[in-house]
Structure 1
Amino acid sequence: MSTQNGAAMATDLLQRKDFKIGIIGGTGLEDPHIMERSGEVRVETPYGRPSDALIEGNVSGVPCVLLSRHGRRHQQSPTNINYRANIWALKKAGVSAIVAACACGSLREELEPGKLVLIDSFIDRTTKREQTFYDGLPGHPPGICHMPMHPALNERLRQALLATATRLGAAHSDRGVLVCVEGPRFSTRAESELFRAWGADLVGMTLCPEAVLAKELGIPYASVAVVTDYDCWRDTAEGVSIALVDETMRKNAQLMQKFFVEAISEVAGHKEQFVAEAQKAKQLAAASVMEGEHKLNFDHLN
C-alpha cells in the first residue's frame, strides 16, 4: 500500500459521515437498548455467518454496529463462536475500531468481582479455534500472515477505555493479563494456580482469537473485562458457577451500559486520532503477510 494511497484512504475515512465504531458484547454485555434508531442487518461472509445479526444504529449520535458474541440467546459456546465471521462482518460493515467486553474470573485478590480491568495482554490456551483469515482456501485472503502481537491490543483505544472508567468513577485496574482458555468448562485448581504462577491476572474464554483476527484486518481493538468471580485458586464459601456469573453481570448491567455510551463518545471525540490508528493498523496488517507463491491482494483491508 503506497503512502499516497494510504493518505487518501485516511482522508476519505475522516470525511465520511458514517465513521463507525464496532461493539462486541459478551455474556450479559450485549444490550441493544443503548442504540438509537437501530436496525438489524443479517450478513454472510466467506467464513460463514456471524454469531447473530448486526445491530446498526447510533450511540449518542455516533454510528455504531453492535454484535452479540454468543448470539442474543447465548446459543453459542466459546469454542463454537465463528470468530472469523464476526470480525469479517464488522469490517465489511465499515467499523474503524472495535470496543469489546468480556466476563472473566479473577486470579488476583485485589481484582474483586464487579471490578473492570483494561486488558493489555493475553496468554492463549485455546486449542480448537481458527486463528487466521489466511488459511489458503479459495476465496480467502492469499498469503501467510505473521502478525506481531505486541502490543496485543491497540494502546490508544485501550487508553480511551481507561479514561472512560476513570471518568465514571468505576472501580478498575488500568491493566491486566488474561489467559484465554478453551472452555466451556471452568478451570481446575491446578490450572488456576498455574495461571497465577505465569503472571496472569484474569481467566476468560473469548479474547482469543478475536483480538488477533481484528489485528489481521487492520481494526484497532480493545477489550474491558468485567470480573464476575474469583477463580478456584481461592478458597471461598461459593465457588465459580453460572449463577454467580449471572448475578454479577445483572448487578453491573447499568454500569456497563453507561460505560459503552461514554466509551463511544470518548473515541468519537478523538476521531482524527483513531482514523490515524486505523490507517496504521491497516499498514501493519498488510506488512505482516508473506507472499510466497501467492499474488497478494489487500482489498479486504479497505
Structure 2
Amino acid sequence: MIDCGEGTQMQLRRSKIRFTKLRAVFISHLHGDHCFGLIGMISTFGMLGRTAPLHVYAPEAFEPILQGQLDFFCKGLEFKVEFHAVDTLKNDVIYEDQSLTIETIPLEHRIPTCGFLFREKPRPRHINREMTDCYEVPLCQLNNIRNGMDWTTPEGIVIANERLTTPADPPRAYAYCSDTRYIPTLHELVAGVDTLYHESTYAEDNLSRARLYWHSTARQAATVARDAHVGKLLLGHFSARYEDETCILDEAKQVFENSWLTNEGLVFDV
C-alpha cells in the first residue's frame, strides 16, 4: 500500500481487498491525508487476529509518532509492526524480493517527501507446451527450461531453449510521485516506466498557488511524463477548488496525450 489516509479501511472493503494480503505500507510524507489512516488500520488488524508482521516504510520522523500511537492505542498486538526509516533525500532501493525492487524517488515539498518506484525483475520465459510435449521433456525439468536451459534428448540431441519457450513478458515499472513541486530533472529517475502517477493539484491558472504550496500543475506533471517517455500518466491530488477536473486533464493532454484522471475505485493496468 502506498500512503494511508483517512478512509483507507472503507476503501479496502469496497475494493474487496483482503486485509491479510497487506504486508507493507509505504508513507511518502507526514501530512495527514497520507498517514492518518494507518493507526486505525493497524488497530483493526489486531482485532482481526493478525499474526504476520506489518512493515512500515516512512520518513524517520514518523517512528516516534507511530510508536507513541501503538503504545497508547494498540497494546497487546499479536503481530509486529516493523518500522523502516526512509531517507527522502536519496534515490535508493529500500525493498527487494524475488520478483520486485522498490526504490525511493526524492521529491520537493514543504516537508521531507519521497515517491516510490516499483520495478519488476526480469521474468522467466514461457513454456511452449507443444514443443516440450513433442520432445517429452519431463515435468521436473520445466522450471530449468523456463530459466534458459536447453534440453538434451535420450538420444543425445540438444534442443535449443528458444525452440522450447517463447519470450518472457517485459518487466513492468510503476512510479508514484506524491506531493511535490515541479522538478525539471525528475524525468531522469522515472525514465521509461510503464505508468507514472504524478500529483497535479492545480491547472496553470493557479500556477502561483502551486509554487506557494509546493505542488505541481497538470502541465508540469505532463512535462515530466513526456520527458521521461513513460507509457501512461495518472493525474491526482486535485485541489478542492475544481468541481470538474476536465480542465486538468485537457491541460495535461496538450503535453502528453496518454494522460488519465484518477478517482476512488478506478483500476488501471500498469
| TM-score, structure 1 as length reference | 0.27
**TM-score (normalised: structure 2):** 0.29
| Structure ranking higher on relative contact order (CA contacts 8 Å, 6+ apart) | 1
CA radius of gyration, larger in: 2
